[in-house]
Structure 1
Amino acid sequence: MTGTERVMVFGAGGFLGARICALLAERGVEYRGLSRSRGEPYRRCDLSTMHPYALDTQIGMYKPTVVVNAVGATLGEPADLVRANVIAVEALLASIRDNAGHARFVQLGSAAEYGGGPHGTSIDEQTAPRPTGPYGVTKLAGSELVLRAQRGGADAVVLRIFDVIGPGAPESTLTGRVIRDLRSRQLIEVGSLDVWRDFVDVRDVAEAVVAVALADAKPPPLLNVGTGRATLARDVAGSLFELSGKPATIVDDTGQEGMLGAPWQQADTSLIGEQLGWSPKIALDQSLADSWAAN
């Protein structure tokens, strides 16, 4: 990149988007944050409902060199997931093509696009996606739009991000729900905890996103962002229980699907390490301690 980047971050008011914006500010990179749910310091922008002309105006006036899409929905009716995870991506790609043709597009995808893998194995970027459930299917559809644009010549990359935790995690995440339950009623009730996930701190994810956004050369079209280590969800909940120092009960409803449905997910992150020198820095125990202190 040139050193005179202008980064647009869509979804800047969310868990990931806000952390990315904070890191850009810390690095002295010019950026503009756009958010559906917040005003200042971000501009209001709802990709699911705004007119294409309004989006074209935003992008055309700012002339970004990088666009980061942190917009997404994890819960809701299928139509809501399609609007946030597919239609919004299509709208952004079309507007960038017409108004900022040389901008790099960074799509924040999800490990849910892969589905699960055999216990003890790592999922690399060549693994065939087999998502389970509407969230994974719609995230995959959005990512496929980006990968198609990349094959057509666009400077575009999808980051498949594994389970994000850390300070400020929302209740749509395992740690956010567990912390809410511990603080409010000393009862952990989040479905089955007998699943293994690759938990990665939001601050490490932001570092990966910024590294991709500002890389001099075009990154590979698809990169995993995780730690390379799967942890049993029950152990994560137990660690937060110990941090709380309070009596609590864990209600394990094995009739529920649990987190994303797949019993095992673990990232292979060798490609992003080789190409960009990125690796996670924040240990799981530190991330959980920081989460409990902040939430």
Structure 2
Amino acid sequence: MGSPSETGSDGSRGCVLLTGANGFTGQHVRAELIGAGYSVCSAVVGAARGPHEATLDITSRDNCRRVLERLRPDYLIHLAAISFVQHADADAFYRVNVIGTMNLLEAVADARLEPRRIVIASSANVYGNATGGVIDESFPPQPVNHYAVSKLAMEHMVKTFSDRFPIVLTRPFNYTGRGQQPHFLVPKIVSHFLQRAPVIELGNLDVERDFSDVRMVAHVYRRLLECDSAGETVNICSGRPYSLRTILDMMAAIAGYEIEVRVNPAFVRRTEVKTLVGSTVKLRALAGPLQPIGLHDTLQWMTRA
């Protein structure tokens, strides 16, 4: 199908099949791709609502094959996953994250496609309870929950296709922004301040996470389609950790009031990853200079939603 820089017959930069398109990340990735001149077919669960959407059940290999044979995309960005760490159905992590990804890649092979690039989202959670500073891609995985184990298993499965397809695996660290569900940490904090709630219940306030803005993450996914990234595994991160206490202080300054914080033992997970901060060295080497968005700016953007 040619190089990633070629222009398609419709005048676009090529067609991208985007799984998980209606999810938090997918909506921002779709906007980034369209803004950069790509045509996007959004793969969704449930009924398609227009000519640029397709119903896709990644747990069905037959369904994946039919969709891929019909659409024949130039690129694929695979975001669809069970991504909430505390999801109640442990089996679903493996059905969707591992088997679903395998079904999708098998369908690409069955349809005899020659994609210019396939970008697949794993997770920095595979690093587990990492200690000792900034984590680069050579750090040995130590998953501590079903979500992370399923993502690491998925990575190993994907590598069995690496001799057939130009695949790049991403390990996003935490990121946030408009549209993220309120059961995730930062949207929960933002919504409590917007409602001027007097109290918020949280877990360990000293947990530190490397937070990026979803708009930067979307930009990275687009850049990974365009650069020489095939065969790579790369962190998507800011390189800077923030504790929950810091986030609370930022929101207090934005909202203009202090909220009472109560630590709920039920929210303190036994296998809690204490600190996760990623190295951006490989990401910048592959994708080029990035324009990071500070967490304070992200929080302000979310409060204006």
Does the 8 A contact of 2:168 with 2:230 survive in 1?
yes
Match of 1:268 in 2: 279
Deviates more, 1:139-148 or 1:184-193: 184-193
CA deviation digits over 1:170-220, x for unaligned, max 9?
Answer: 2242111212333454432232121111001100000000111233x3434
Match of 2:299 in 1: 288
- Identical pairs, percent: 23
CA 1:134/1:16 → structure 2, altered by over 3 Å: closer, same or farther? same
Answering whether residue 84 of structure 2 is matched by residue 80 of structure 1, we say no
CA 1:224/1:158 → structure 2, altered by over 3 Å: closer, same or farther? same
**What is the RMSD of the two structures over their aligned residues, measured on CA atoms?**
2.1
Match of 2:135 in 1: 123
SS of corresponding position for 1:279: coil
Match of 2:156 in 1: 144
- Aligned partner of 1:9 among 11, 18, 25: 18
Aligned counterparts of 1:189 and 1:37: Cα–Cα separation in 2: 34
SS of corresponding position for 1:224: strand
Aligned counterparts of 1:16 and 1:91: Cα–Cα separation in 2: 22
Deviates more, 1:172-181 or 1:3-12: 172-181
Does the 8 A contact of 2:61 with 2:106 survive in 1?
no
Structure 1 residues without counterparts, runs of 5 or longer: none
Match of 2:36 in 1: 27
CA 1:247/1:9 → structure 2, altered by over 3 Å: closer, same or farther? same
Residue identity matched to 2:16: V
CA deviation digits over 1:236-270, x for unaligned, max 9?
Answer: 13322332334532112356335971111110110
Aligned counterparts of 2:297 and 2:38: Cα–Cα separation in 1: 28
Aligned counterparts of 2:105 and 2:57: Cα–Cα separation in 1: 15
TM (norm. structure 2) is: 0.88
Does the 8 A contact of 2:21 with 2:79 survive in 1?
yes
Aligned counterparts of 2:22 and 2:112: Cα–Cα separation in 1: 23
Residue identity matched to 1:58: V
Does the 8 A contact of 2:178 with 2:301 survive in 1?
yes
Quote how far apart the aligned CAs of 1:98 are: 1.7
- Aligned partner of 1:105 among 118, 128, 139: 118
CA deviation digits over 1:41-69, x for unaligned, max 9?
Answer: 53332323xx4222212111111111111
Alignment of 1:166-185 (within 5 A): 166-184=177-195, 185=197
Does the 8 A contact of 2:190 with 2:299 survive in 1?
no
Does the 8 A contact of 1:200 with 1:284 survive in 2?
yes
Aligned counterparts of 1:45 and 1:231: Cα–Cα separation in 2: 37
Match of 2:206 in 1: 194
SS of corresponding position for 1:32: strand
Match of 1:58 in 2: 67
SS of corresponding position for 2:276: coil
Task: State the number of aligned residues.
Answer: 289
SS of corresponding position for 1:31: strand
Quote how far apart the aligned CAs of 1:37 are: 5.5
CA 1:17/1:148 → structure 2, altered by over 3 Å: closer, same or farther? same
CA 1:198/1:161 → structure 2, altered by over 3 Å: closer, same or farther? same
CA deviation digits over 1:144-170, x for unaligned, max 9?
Answer: 2222321x3421111100001112222
Quote how far apart the aligned CAs of 1:271 are: 0.7
Alignment of 1:210-289 (within 5 A): 210-215=222-227, 217-246=228-257, 248-254=259-265, 256-257=267-268, 261-289=272-300
TM (norm. structure 1) is: 0.90
Quote how far apart the aligned CAs of 1:274 are: 1.0
CA 1:260/1:17 → structure 2, altered by over 3 Å: closer, same or farther? farther
Quote how far apart the aligned CAs of 1:280 are: 4.2
CA 1:85/1:226 → structure 2, altered by over 3 Å: closer, same or farther? same
CA 1:172/1:37 → structure 2, altered by over 3 Å: closer, same or farther? farther
